[in-house]
């Protein structure tokens, strides 16, 4: 059995992956949302489910909220509820993609009253951050156009910068703005923040507390995502990951499910660039579980990240550097592949047991009867938002 060194175990012990509250709600495609028995009926129950994931893995100490999906009357109470269950409230995600007024844009809109409304929504999110104790405001914009000539792309970039400046100005010194990019969808011709370069240009003009969010599912097929990770870490602008995976377009599948090797390559660059357990780089999941059970789906996801992080830490750096210096093409590649092909699962199971955690969190959760319990207790779940 492969053993993991004390240094590697220390690194793994420090790992924390933020869960998305919306992963616990029902979700689906444009065609159908399939309800799951036991789905949370309010944000309090979503937090309770997220806390279960942490209880079985010790890997998920915080939960991201999405506003207005997780709107509550009393955020202090939601925060207390989370803390009572051993987790924190994390990133606040704004939402300007489900309001009729934003059909033609929000932070980029040429109509000043609509742009004002979108800016104000973000200011409201910052107010919420004060109550939840959140550091990061994450912004993803569903803005763009469907046809050439439909919009003035340049004017929209200028208005976006102005809107972001107004939002950034409202942040406290210990808060950050994180701007997510996505190469297409829902617009099909142009997108206002389609790539890391645009996100970088927009946040670099704001200041040090504005960073880029890299959602692993938001790239064209074939994109070398680990190169982007390397570059953003090099520039000190990688603020957060939204981890998920996809086979075709953006489907928010379980991280590492579609392409474990890609996840490995990303984590190798994270380790190389000093991004692991770095408070500046938030590890988050951004997933939906359309057909599988949600709590086990999240447990599987955080374990996938942990397993691949362990493999990335196993890369023999000194040997790799030497092989690279010697232009030993196949030798260098072989060193990387050796780490990738190492099965770390038995060593991780043993380590978990030594820390009082279940050796196999998936099996332990399945045996706990918790899913059956919440299915009996909760009647009528909420949508994650997509189908609502």
Task: Provide the binding-site residues for Mn ion, judged by CB under 5 A.
Answer: 215, 242, 250, 286
Nearer Cβ to ligand LRH (64/310): 64
Q: Which long-range contacts (CB under 8 A, 24 or more apart) does 340-343 make?
A: 340/261, 340/264, 340/311, 342/2, 342/311, 342/314, 343/2
Site membership for ligand LRH, residue 251 (CB under 6 A): no
Of residues 208-237, those binding ligand LRH (CB under 6 A): 215
- To ligand LRH, the closest distance from the beta carbon of 284 in angstroms equals 9
What does the chain come to in residues?
A: 388
Minimum distance from residue 325 beta carbon to ligand LRH (Å): 39
| Tokens 């950050």 sit on residue | 176
- Residues from 331 through 360 that contact ligand LRH (CB under 6 A): none
Least Å distance, CB 361 to ligand LRH, is 25
Which CB atom, from 18 or from 242, has the smaller least distance to Mn ion? 242
Q: Which of ligand LRH, Mn ion, none binds 93 (CB below 5-8 Å, type-dependent)? A: ligand LRH
Count of residues that interact with ligand LRH, criterion CB under 6 A: 9
Query: In the bound complex, what is the minimum distance in angstroms from residue 44's beta carbon to ligand LRH?
Result: 20
Interatomic CA distance for residues 301 and 128, integer angstroms:
28
CB of 181 to Mn ion, least distance (A): 10
CA angle at residue 8 from 300 to 341, to 5 degrees?
Answer: 60
- Give the number of other CB atoms < 10 A from CB of residue 254: 19
Contact pick of 93, 187, 191, 199 for ligand LRH (by CB under 6 A): 93
User: How far apart are alpha carbons 64 and 167 in whole angstroms?
Assistant: 19
Q: Which is nearer to ligand LRH, 60 or 178 (CB)?
A: 178
Tell whether residue 52 is a contact of ligand LRH (CB under 6 A): no
Q: Which residue lies nearer to ligand LRH by CB, 288 or 374?
A: 288
Residue 194 C-beta: closest distance to Mn ion, Å: 13
Pairing mode, if any, of strands 190-191 and 144-145?
antiparallel
> Angle CA(107)–CA(113)–CA(116) in degrees, nearest 5?
45
Q: Would you say 182 or 352 has its CB closer to ligand LRH?
A: 182
Task: Please choose, from the candidates 269, 362, 357, the residue with its C-alpha nearest in 3D space to the C-alpha of residue 308.
Answer: 269
335 burial type by CB count under 10 A (0-12 exposed, 13-18 middle, 19+ buried): buried
Contact positions with ligand LRH (CB under 6 A) in 128-157: 140
Q: Which is nearer to ligand LRH, 36 or 94 (CB)?
A: 94
The reply to whether 250 sits near ligand LRH by the rule CB under 6 A is yes
Instruction: Give Cβ neighbours of residue 50 (< 8 Å, ≥ 6 apart).
Output: 19, 21, 24, 60, 63, 87, 298
Binding site for ligand LRH (CB under 6 A): 22, 93, 140, 180, 182, 215, 242, 250, 286
């Amino acid at each position: 059995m492969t053993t993991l060194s004390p240094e590697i175990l220390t690194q793994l012990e420090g790992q924390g992956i933020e869960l998305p509250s919306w992963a616990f709600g029902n979700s689906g495609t444009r065609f159908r949302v399939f309800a799951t028995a036991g789905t949370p009926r309010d944000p309090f129950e979503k937090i309770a489910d997220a806390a279960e994931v942490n209880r079985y893995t010790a890997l998920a100490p915080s939960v991201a909220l999405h506003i207005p999906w997780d709107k509550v009357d009393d955020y202090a109470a939601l925060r207390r509820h989370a803390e009572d269950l051993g987790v924190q409230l994390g990133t606040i995600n704004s939402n300007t993609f489900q309001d009729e007024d934003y059909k033609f844009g929000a932070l980029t809109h040429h109509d000043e009253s609509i742009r004002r409304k979108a800016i104000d929504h973000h200011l409201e999110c910052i107010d919420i951050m004060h109550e939840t104790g959140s550091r990061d405001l994450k912004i993803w914009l569903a803005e763009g156009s469907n046809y050439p000539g439909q919009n003035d792309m340049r004017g929209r970039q200028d208005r976006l910068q102005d809107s972001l400046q107004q939002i950034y100005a409202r942040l406290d010194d210990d808060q950050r703005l994180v701007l997510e990019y996505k190469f297409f969808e829902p617009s099909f011709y142009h997108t206002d923040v389609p790539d890391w370069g645009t996100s970088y240009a927009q946040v670099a003009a704001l200041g040090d507390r504005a960073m880029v969010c890299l959602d692993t599912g938001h790239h064209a097929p074939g994109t070398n995502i680990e190169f982007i990770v390397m570059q953003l870490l090099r520039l000190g602008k990688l603020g957060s990951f939204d981890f998920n995976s996809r086979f075709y377009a953006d489907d928010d599948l379980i991280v590492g499910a579609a392409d474990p090797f890609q996840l490995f390559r990303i984590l190798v660059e994270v380790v190389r660039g000093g991004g692991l357990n770095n408070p500046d780089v938030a590890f988050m999941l951004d997933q939906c579980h359309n057909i599988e059970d949600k709590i086990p789906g999240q447990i599987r996801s955080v374990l996938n990240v942990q397993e691949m992080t362990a493999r990335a830490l196993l890369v023999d750096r000194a040997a790799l550097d030497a092989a690279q210096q010697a232009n030993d093409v196949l030798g260098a590649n072989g060193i990387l592949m050796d780490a990738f092909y190492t099965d770390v699962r038995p060593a991780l199971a043993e380590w978990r047991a030594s820390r009082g955690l279940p050796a196999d969190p998936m099996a332990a959760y399945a045996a706990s009867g918790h899913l059956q319990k919440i299915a009996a207790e909760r009647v009528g779940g909420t949508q994650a938002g997509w189908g609502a």
